[in-house]
Structure 1
Amino acid sequence: MIEFPQYGIYPRWPEDGQGWIHPDDIAIVSKLLPGERVVRRESFDGTYYHCRYGKWTFRLRPALWLQIKAEDLDVGDEVETVGLGMERDLFVGEVIGMYYVRRKGRIAYRLRRADQNLPRLFLREHLRLLSDKQRVRQGEIEHPTPKWNGSGERIGFSD
């Protein structure tokens, strides 16, 4: 049984042309692939893998791809950078790209800070997913909820 999601890259275009791409998705796929972009396979319907890269979804027939060990970040996630002494600014950004760096065997992430795409790539250990923030645990003491029955006095002001 195949477990999803799977992450990987399509480093080369198959030599048999565009037959491996769903006809409705050729325009999207020809802009994204081949290359080092890390694609997320979400399901398989028997003919096509249903894939996602950020906001783009597309369907591909089985083809040669390099599967990559998943990290817990995806395109579109909000992250904060983790500082390294006084060397790096801390900021909150959005993951706008995932690229596989073969010589490191790792995924590198491109971020957008406000409306600016950053030229530098970040590794996973330099980023913290915002949903991983510390949370206040549920209280252990039962506090009574005040109840109001509608009665009371009105404060009158004299002119």
Structure 2
Amino acid sequence: MTVHPLRLVVLTRNLEDGRFGTAVTRWFAREVERAEGFKLDLVDLSVVPVAELPERIEDADAAVIVTAEYNHAYPGDVKTAIDAVRRPWYAKPVGFVAYGGRSGGLRAAEALRLVFGELHAVTIRDSLGFREEDFTASGEPVDASTPRAAGAMLRQLAWWARCLRDARADTPYPE
């Protein structure tokens, strides 16, 4: 039996050089590429028109949102992008990689769980959260256990992605 790679959309706000979010996103994208069984689709919201998002999410088996935390929440452009997709989020697993603030962005991830619950998505419990001091100047995590944490999240995401992909193929998600 051939196992098809899981199409993983990694949605980020901006990949401009010199930004902490860019370092986090690029590191996580490398982790996805090192993991077995994924085909990466990196979506930079500063470049990709919002009108393209529904089709890319529809084609995906899973998604990871890379987001900053601002004022204990996520940025407005992330919410605009999520809301522009709507139905393609149904029965899709979603993970979070967040950064910023004292919580390392985890308050943004927790706020996003509520949004994705309303969109009938399945959120992965284990999120990744970072502060700027958690990365070296060259864009690598300081803590040697960070890649293992990313791997655990990706394995959970893959499990859900396979189960939900098969379920959607067998029976359309009820409205």
Q: Which has the higher helix share?
A: 2
TM-score range, shorter chain: under 0.3
Query: Greater CA radius of gyration, 1 or 2?
Result: 1
Q: Which has the higher strand share?
A: 1
The TM-score with structure 1 as length reference comes to 0.24
Choose between structure 1 and 2 for higher RCO, CA contacts under 8 A separated by at least 6 residues. 2
